[in-house]
Amino acid sequence: AKLHLLAQAAGKLYFGSATDNPELSDPTYVNLLSDSAMFGQITPGNSMKWDSTERSQGSFTFAGGDTVVALAHANGQLVRGHNCVWHNQLPSWVSGGTFTAAQLTNIVQTHCSVCPSNVFRYAWDVVNEPFNEDGTWRTDVFYNVLGAGYVTIALNAARSADPTAKLYLNDYNIEGSGAKATAMQNLVRSLKAAGTPIDGVGLQAHFIVGSVPPTLQTNIQAFIALGVEVAITELDIRMTLPATAALYNQQKTDYNTVISACKVLSGCIGVTIWDFTDKYSWVPNTFSGQGAACPWDVNFVKKPAYDGIVAGL
Q: Name the site residues for ligand XIL (rule: CB under 6 A).
A: 20, 45-46, 128, 204, 234, 282
Q: Which is nearer to ligand XIL, 12 or 206 (CB)?
A: 206
Q: How far is the CB of 167 from ligand XIL (least distance, A)?
A: 16
Q: How far is the CB of 142 from ligand XIL (least distance, A)?
A: 15
Q: Which is nearer to ligand XIL, 156 or 272 (CB)?
A: 272
Q: How far is the CB of 236 from ligand XIL (least distance, A)?
A: 9
Q: How far is the CB of 58 from ligand XIL (least distance, A)?
A: 24
Q: How far is the CB of 113 from ligand XIL (least distance, A)?
A: 21
Give residues with Cβ within 8 angstroms of 238, minimum separation 6.
Answer: 206, 207, 208, 209, 283, 287, 290, 291, 292, 293
Q: Which is nearer to ligand XIL, 229 or 236 (CB)?
A: 236
* Active site (annotated) includes residue 234: yes
Please tell me the distance from the alpha carbon of residue 181 to that of residue 134, in angstroms, as a whole number.
Answer: 9
Selected catalytic residue, list 54, 129, 175, 229: 129
Q: Which is nearer to ligand XIL, 20 or 297 (CB)?
A: 20
Q: Which is nearer to ligand XIL, 17 or 105 (CB)?
A: 17
Please tell me the distance from the alpha carbon of residue 302 to that of residue 304, in angstroms, as a whole number.
Answer: 7
Pairing verdict, β 200-203 and 206-208: unpaired
Active site residues: 129, 234
